[in-house]
A and B are shown apart, each in its own frame.
Chain A
Amino acid sequence: MPDIKVTPLGAGQDVGRSCILVSIGGKNIMLDCGMHMGYNDDRRFPDFSYITQNGRLTEFLDCVIISHFHLDHCGALPYMSEMVGYDGPIYMTHPTKAICPILLEDFRKITVDKKGETNFFTSQMIKDCMKKVVPLNLHQTVQVDEELEIKAYYAGHVLGAAMVQIKVGSESVVYTGDYNMTPDRHLGAAWIDKCRPDLLISESTYATTIRDSKRCRERDFLKKVHETVERGGKVLIPVFALGRAQELCILLETFWERMNLKAPIYFSTGLTEKANHYYKLFITWTNQKIRKTFVQRNMFEFKHIKAFDRSYADNPGPMVVFATPGMLHAGQSLLIFKKWAGNEKNMVIMPGYCVQGTVGHKILNGQKKLEMEGRATLDVKLQVEYMSFSAHADAKGIMQLIRMAEPRNMLLVHGEAKKMEFLKDKIEQEFSISCYMPANGETTSIVTNPSVPVDISLNLLKREMALGGPLPDAKRPRTMHGTLIMKDNSLRLVSPEQALKELGLSEHQLRFTCRVQLHDPHSDNDTLGRIYTHLKSHSVNASPYGPI
């Protein structure tokens, strides 16, 4: 039986380092190529030696698809394509293609220039890597080769995030990447048609969470920020430069405008300006409100939000600062956090998920003393708030997507094993489809039942239709007579006469006879007559060939 094989190199029962290998219909596809935020060693990148011990990946992979520009989905891309070696096509959407190199460059700078790591990819490698990228449009079907086609759907997680449908013949897999089923201030909700794939590979970050309405969340967030600012405290919001940052910026910007507040809002890194530029450009990827009003005013042209300078952190008075990165594991956000942590008037709002091992994860778990490099400790006095603003689908959202797509099998990645377990049970129970959750390096194979297309001759079809019953029962299977010809990798169904003609064979008739002995006292003629009438009354069709 044909099957689809899925092997996560990263994100199997884990968050971060998304990299999933899929073999379908003889094609090998890599879905996402991310890095892990929690590690600084080799574990940071997926283990590409799983694919081939040494040598280039080009001959093993037919294509690489990147779902969105977050580093845990694209961070290992230059490493894979330039250092390990891959020359095939890399597919991503237009906004991802535009923003991805900015983030990769930022990532490179932090790792190489700040931490002084060597043996890391260079700027040139990022550029070379981006040259291999083929852009995708929403709902556009792209033929990778003659058999393999891919199609992108809107995922709503960040600007340009896409879910991808991969199709070979009649087998298909949908990979969701990260997605969000509830619309927010700048993005719409994920949407997919009823494509009924053989396998749906879904993220499951919030497998065990059902979230409250976003309006309550927004109101809470604004209230907290407002109160702190009125008290004269400083608010630190660690974010990833792109994605939630823009969402929160829009939220605060509109709030500041409505309430006529004066406290400054800063955005920490220079890369944001570059990225914001792309946000202004890719209006078609945003939500209804922004798309409708951008003619009057582009929502991404912020009035109240200014660029941050390091010296501002020591300024007196209230302020709100967005700083990268989002999990407080390095960079500017950590610097500012160290400065402000001692004052209980201040506040840090963690708007998203924090991977285990990061400072963010520690303070969210209530740790009051942090160990820093060089055995220094840091007292955490400021208030720590957690607001789930990360745009992942919650348990209900995941179920909703399953209902929309109606897959035959389900595979969960990008989540914690324990939480996946729960969701897996639920999916199997509600939809009665099998659900898998492989760990990294573990291969799952799913048996498919692909339909085999057969050409049928029109004459035969018409003849059968004329014989058949009424039309409305078209969905019911029907038996028909014909000859199946398998020739040169193609299947055809033709009428027996035509098959004979094509194959240059003549018709043979088989006749079955048998002898029956009768012991009858009557005369021969009489017996014959009686049998004949008897048979006739039972309406047995006398053979046209044989006399009785």
Chain B
Amino acid sequence: MSAHINHVVVVLQQVSLEEVPAKKLRLTKPSKSAALHIDLCKATSPTDALQYLLSFARRPVEAESVEGVVRILLEHYYKESDNSVRLKIASLLGLLSKTQGFAPDCIVDDAINTLNNEKSHQVLAQLLGTLLIIGTQLPDKIAVVQRLIDVACKHLSSTYFGVRNKCLQLLGCLGTVDKPLSKETDAGPGAQTSHVRDVQSVISDYFQDQDPRVRTAAIKAMLQLHERGMKIQQTIYNQACKLLSDDYEQVRSAAVQMVWVLSQLYPESIVPIPSSNEEIRLVDDSFGKICHMVSDGSWVVRVQAAKLLGSMHQVSPHFLEQTLDKKLMSDLRRKRTAHERAKELYASGEFSSGRRWADDAPKEKVDTSGVNLIDSGACGAFVHGLEDEMYEVRISAVEALCSLAQSSPSFAEKCLDFLVDMFNDEIEEVRLQSIHVLRQISTHITLREDQLDTVLAVLEDSSRDIREALHELLCYTNVSTKDCIQLALVELLKNLTKYPTDRNSVWKCLKFLGARHPTLVLPIVPELLSTHPYFDTPEPDMDDPAYIAVLVLVFNAAKSCPTMPALFSDHTFRHYAYLRDSLSHLVPHLRLPGRKQTASSGLEASGVGSGSLESAQNFLQDSLVRVSALQNLETPGAQDLLEFTIRDLLRLGELQTELAGSADFCATYLHCQLLLTKWLSFDDLEFLYSGLETQQIATIHNVRLQAKALQLILTARSKPGVDRVLGACEKFLQDVESFQRLFMTELPHFQDSFVEKLLELMPRLTTCKPLDLVKILQTTLRQSGFIHLKLPEQIHRASATIIEPTGESDNPLKFTTGLVVALDIDATLEHVQDPQTSVKVQVLYPDGQSHIIHPKPGDFRTPGPGRVRLITQVYLSHSAWTEACQIEVRLLLAYSSSSSKQSASKPAWNESMDGLPTSESCIEGTIHLSKPVKVFIMPKPARR
């Protein structure tokens, strides 16, 4: 009986096994094509058929059934008399042959055959398009490709532009140079010449086609050949140049590209100048021609020409400098440009002497025959481009200027005036771009006073981006005289009073300005510090940002100018000590003569006092060595030592910004260790620091495991009950396994550690009961040694500072309950990886409500490497309060680790986390990235 039943089961299984695939096949292949077949047969009018085809095209077809479908479509194709239906079928063939996993070899013949009987031009064009798709699917099948090329050549003489277009496209995508197209071309009625021709000459025939679309297609096909790595012949150059004056913008646009490609291919070949006997390099010639296109009638062409100019680095300097050339005249008299005038004024030392009467009066009479009103070649191309109507053109011109100036210092010097002029453009994007560009080429240039004047005028711009870009630019700028320094300082201070939020940026700017020009700062130091040879001057207010700004400039200049401190007055030294302490990132260490350091902290006493980076590093090393001497944390005094070391390290980090990351990391690690020994757990080391090596990560994980073990023990002890512990145990074991998986290679470094022991015991652990496991853990924990941290090389701590709101305001932000108020947040992020996804803003209300806001990706700006600026708005809302109260705003760093992945559900935008305990404001999967800032708000009840 049982045997019988078994048999039945087996049979059933077999049936189900067989049926599943069989069913699949029957369902797909026949049904799809058959349904189509039936539909098409049913269709009484072309409109119906078209409808069927359209709905058919919407569904995907499996690779194995494509061929069947194609056959059916072809069958109908031959029967169909309506052009539109045939067209649709042709386009479907193309679509189908693109299906993944389908090799279209088998339908090549059919597709080519259809071409022979086709009368409608549109359908022909579509069929050729299909062939193009098939051809691109089969690039390796030379025979197929060759056939397709033959077909294309045959149809090139069609009267319909679409057909010619497609043929050219086909030639461009599939044509090869190696194989001449001799025997096939004479088959077509168009080509009676039967000598050997290659693809390029066939295509270039169509550069003179009567239809602009075909001309465009021909150039594009040629560019396609180039992209496929084929060397374009130089003979095409002349033809391409002729097309630059075509009537149609698409042709001109493609021709510009073609000329550019040729100029990159044959930069050094020599071409004759028409109407003269001279000859010039091809790259110069084409440069002139493309420059000419910068004043084209169509802005699309202008943008393209301007962009391409930027990449022509091989052009001779003579031609390059012509692009900025302009000659003015007024009533036939030569006039100097404003740039020339400014330069002369400067040279004659008369700058800022006020106005001069009629200094732009026209000078000498111009010889009428000598005036060239039509710019030939490169003349004035950038002058035109920078004054263009469309800002797209202007931006491209600015970018091109930049890239050319970077490779040619003399050109950089010349284009300076023009770039500075662009600072007054009406479109902010252009202004911003030109400031950035000037920064990029700033290594090549020195600003003249009048130029600096124009540059500094932009400091009053109301756009923060512009101002900051300008500060950035000033950081890298070389200026020529001490007056320039003074001018810059005055303007920056003006900027500071007008926009106090720019404080940090201005200080930083002055830091670099001072460090760059110590000799220029030196003569104006007494003036800057308002010292007097005989009289004591009143001591300035130390909290005045403007005074701090001046000091930053002076101290940074003094760093490489040892004579400067002699000019300081007493209070300056005191202020130095204060600033060196409070703004250590802005104020460098100075060797002050004859003055003992007012050593305040134990740190400086212990050797870092001399302040150089080297000694700081030594100190760091020493501290770690000292700590590593600890064998056991139970030792009396060990904890004290740890605490002191942590304090020292933190302080060191503050003083030596270069080492801040390393010092901070060590300190936090030690802190964790300390806490661990204090039976507490804490871990976010891994995600806050970037640049960690695997070994260090493993070390952190080791500590984490220890902490978890502790937690487990704690749970087991405090909450008796096997189920809970069981779950916890399993989780713990998983963690251990994943550790093993992740850090296999690092294990040799973990001699005598908790993990090592744990892994030894692993086979036992997995089998034993939870309570036993807890016991084992307890003993291992006791025995395990303290792992010493190796000094990490390159560690950056991810950090953020909220610049705005400052948290100092006493005026509450009032708004009506139920409505929202927008709070502007401005923060700088440092060393945060992928800030767009990981940085969130947390708003914590006094009642414990907490909101997490995801800033838009566009709110993150990157002013420099490693630094990100977050300028965003968060929306606050709350029910009515009786009085104003403070909310906390801070930034969070979201992370996802192996352990938290499962638990941390991704918080939705503005998701509120009600009912969390007030003290516990940290949300799982995030780390506090910045200090919280308090904002006073006051939701008022709505008036009824």
Chain B 349-386: CB-based contact to A (< 8 A → 1; otherwise 0): 00000010000000000001001011100000001001
Shortest beta-carbon distance, A297 to chain B, in Å? 13
In the bound complex, how far is the Cα of B426 from the Cα of A185, in angstroms? 7
* Interface set, chain A 482-512, CB cutoff 8 A to B: none
From known contacts A258-B462, A422-B368, infer whether A212 and B189 are also in contact, taking CB-CB under 8 Å: no
Contacts of A130 in B (CB 8 A): none
In the bound complex, how far is the Cα of B373 from the Cα of A210, in angstroms? 9
B726 at the interface (CB under 8 A from A): no
**A-binding segment of B275-283, B325-333, B802-810:** B325-333
Contacts of B208 in A (CB 8 A): 472-473, 475
Chain A 430-452: CB-based contact to B (< 8 A → 1; otherwise 0): 10000000000000000000000
Shortest beta-carbon distance, B201 to chain A, in Å? 12
Contacts of A42 in B (CB 8 A): none
Contacts of B328 in A (CB 8 A): 210-212
Shortest beta-carbon distance, B208 to chain A, in Å? 6
In the bound complex, how far is the Cα of B331 from the Cα of A432, in angstroms? 24
A457 at the interface (CB under 8 A from B): no
B833 at the interface (CB under 8 A from A): no
Q: Which residue of chain B has its CB nearest to the CB of A215?
A: B421
Shortest beta-carbon distance, A361 to chain B, in Å? 14
* Interface set, chain A 231-280, CB cutoff 8 A to B: 254, 257-260
B311 at the interface (CB under 8 A from A): no
In the bound complex, how far is the Cα of B454 from the Cα of A474, in angstroms? 57
Shortest beta-carbon distance, A430 to chain B, in Å? 5
Shortest beta-carbon distance, A83 to chain B, in Å? 38
**B-binding segment of A85-93, A111-119, A216-224, A338-346:** A216-224
Instruction: Judge whether B295 and A400 touch: CB under 8 Å.
Output: yes
Contacts of A219 in B (CB 8 A): 338, 421, 424, 454
From known contacts A258-B462, A475-B210, infer whether A419 and B297 are also in contact, taking CB-CB under 8 Å: no
Instruction: Judge whether B426 and A430 touch: CB under 8 Å.
Output: no
Q: What total count of A-B pairs have CB within 8 Å? A: 115
- B157 contact from A208, A257, A425, A470, Cβ within 8 A: A470
User: Would you mind naming 20 contact pairs between A and B with Cβ atoms under 8 Å apart?
Assistant: A194-B297, A210-B328, A210-B329, A210-B335, A211-B328, A213-B337, A213-B338, A215-B387, A215-B424, A216-B337, A216-B421, A217-B338, A218-B424, A220-B338, A258-B461, A400-B295, A470-B190, A471-B209, A472-B208, A472-B209
Instruction: Judge whether A404 and B330 touch: CB under 8 Å.
Output: no
Contacts of B297 in A (CB 8 A): 191-194, 404
**A-binding segment of B388-396, B437-445, B517-525, B538-546:** B388-396
B205 at the interface (CB under 8 A from A): yes
Instruction: Judge whether A469 and B355 touch: CB under 8 Å.
Output: no
B241 at the interface (CB under 8 A from A): no
B192 at the interface (CB under 8 A from A): yes
Contacts of A419 in B (CB 8 A): 331-332
* Interface set, chain A 166-213, CB cutoff 8 A to B: 182-183, 185, 188-189, 191-194, 208-213
In the bound complex, how far is the Cα of B336 from the Cα of A210, in angstroms? 11
Instruction: Judge whether A210 and B327 touch: CB under 8 Å.
Output: yes
Interface size on A, residues (CB 8 A): 51
Instruction: Judge whether B247 and A259 touch: CB under 8 Å.
Output: no
- A213 contact from B189, B330, B421, B426, Cβ within 8 A: B421
Instruction: Judge whether B389 and A183 touch: CB under 8 Å.
Output: yes
Instruction: Judge whether B157 and A422 touch: CB under 8 Å.
Output: no
Contacts of B191 in A (CB 8 A): 470
Q: Which residue of chain B has its CB nearest to the CB of A465?
A: B159
Instruction: Judge whether B190 and A212 touch: CB under 8 Å.
Output: no
Q: Which residue of chain B has its CB nearest to the CB of A462?
A: B159
Shortest beta-carbon distance, B527 to chain A, in Å? 24
* Interface set, chain A 390-407, CB cutoff 8 A to B: 395-396, 399-400, 403-404
B555 at the interface (CB under 8 A from A): no
Contacts of A403 in B (CB 8 A): 374
Shortest beta-carbon distance, B684 to chain A, in Å? 43
Instruction: Judge whether B427 and A289 touch: CB under 8 Å.
Output: yes
- Residue from A258, A260, A472 whose CB has the most chain B CB atoms within 10 Å: A472
B206 at the interface (CB under 8 A from A): yes
Instruction: Judge whether B389 and A188 touch: CB under 8 Å.
Output: yes
User: A-side binding surface: helix, strand, loop or mixed?
Assistant: helix
In the bound complex, how far is the Cα of B208 from the Cα of A192, in angstroms? 24
User: B-side binding surface: helix, strand, loop or mixed?
Assistant: loop
B228 at the interface (CB under 8 A from A): no
Contacts of B861 in A (CB 8 A): none
In the bound complex, how far is the Cα of B4 from the Cα of A118, in angstroms? 128
Contacts of A209 in B (CB 8 A): 329-331
In the bound complex, how far is the Cα of B208 from the Cα of A216, in angstroms? 44
- B383 contact from A213, A218, A260, A288, Cβ within 8 A: A213
In the bound complex, how far is the Cα of B326 from the Cα of A224, in angstroms? 24
Instruction: Judge whether B331 and A208 touch: CB under 8 Å.
Output: yes
* Interface set, chain B 190-217, CB cutoff 8 A to A: 190-192, 205-206, 208-210
Shortest beta-carbon distance, A502 to chain B, in Å? 28
In the bound complex, how far is the Cα of B389 from the Cα of A191, in angstroms? 11
Q: Which residue of chain A has its CB nearest to the CB of B425?
A: A215
Instruction: Judge whether B190 and A426 touch: CB under 8 Å.
Output: no
Shortest beta-carbon distance, B368 to chain A, in Å? 6
Instruction: Judge whether B426 and A289 touch: CB under 8 Å.
Output: yes
Q: Which residue of chain A has its CB nearest to the CB of B339?
A: A216
- A426 contact from B247, B371, B425, Cβ within 8 A: B371
Shortest beta-carbon distance, A342 to chain B, in Å? 19
Contacts of B383 in A (CB 8 A): 213
B756 at the interface (CB under 8 A from A): no
In the bound complex, how far is the Cα of B303 from the Cα of A376, in angstroms? 59
Instruction: Judge whether A212 and B337 touch: CB under 8 Å.
Output: yes
Instruction: Judge whether B368 and A425 touch: CB under 8 Å.
Output: yes
Instruction: Judge whether B389 and A208 touch: CB under 8 Å.
Output: no
In the bound complex, how far is the Cα of B424 from the Cα of A216, in angstroms? 10
Shortest beta-carbon distance, B292 to chain A, in Å? 10
Q: Which residue of chain B has its CB nearest to the CB of A466?
A: B189
Instruction: Judge whether B206 and A472 touch: CB under 8 Å.
Output: yes
Contacts of B374 in A (CB 8 A): 399, 403, 430
Contacts of B386 in A (CB 8 A): 213
- B190 contact from A227, A254, A289, A471, Cβ within 8 A: A471
Contacts of A254 in B (CB 8 A): 426
From known contacts A257-B462, A260-B460, A470-B190, infer whether A288 and B424 are also in contact, taking CB-CB under 8 Å: no
Shortest beta-carbon distance, B87 to chain A, in Å? 23
In the bound complex, how far is the Cα of B458 from the Cα of A259, in angstroms? 10
Chain A 381-421: CB-based contact to B (< 8 A → 1; otherwise 0): 00000000000000110011001100000000000000100
Shortest beta-carbon distance, B206 to chain A, in Å? 6
Chain B 113-148: CB-based contact to A (< 8 A → 1; otherwise 0): 000000000000000000000000000000000000
In the bound complex, how far is the Cα of B242 from the Cα of A159, in angstroms? 37
Instruction: Judge whether B387 and A183 touch: CB under 8 Å.
Output: yes
- Given known contacts A192-B297, A220-B338, A470-B190, what 6 new A-B pairs fall within 8 Å (CB)? A182-B387, A209-B330, A210-B335, A215-B425, A289-B427, A472-B209
In the bound complex, how far is the Cα of B299 from the Cα of A404, in angstroms? 13
A287 at the interface (CB under 8 A from B): yes
Shortest beta-carbon distance, B487 to chain A, in Å? 16
Contacts of A422 in B (CB 8 A): 332, 368
Contacts of A426 in B (CB 8 A): 371, 373
A463 at the interface (CB under 8 A from B): no
Shortest beta-carbon distance, B814 to chain A, in Å? 27
Contacts of B425 in A (CB 8 A): 215
In the bound complex, how far is the Cα of B499 from the Cα of A260, in angstroms? 12
In the bound complex, how far is the Cα of B330 from the Cα of A212, in angstroms? 10
Contacts of A465 in B (CB 8 A): 159
Contacts of B190 in A (CB 8 A): 470-472
A214 at the interface (CB under 8 A from B): yes
Shortest beta-carbon distance, A396 to chain B, in Å? 6
**CB-CB nearest 5 A-B residue pairs:** A216-B338, A183-B389, A474-B210, A470-B190, A215-B421
* Interface set, chain B 420-473, CB cutoff 8 A to A: 421-422, 424-427, 454, 460-462
Instruction: Judge whether A469 and B210 touch: CB under 8 Å.
Output: no
Contacts of B454 in A (CB 8 A): 219
Contacts of A259 in B (CB 8 A): 460
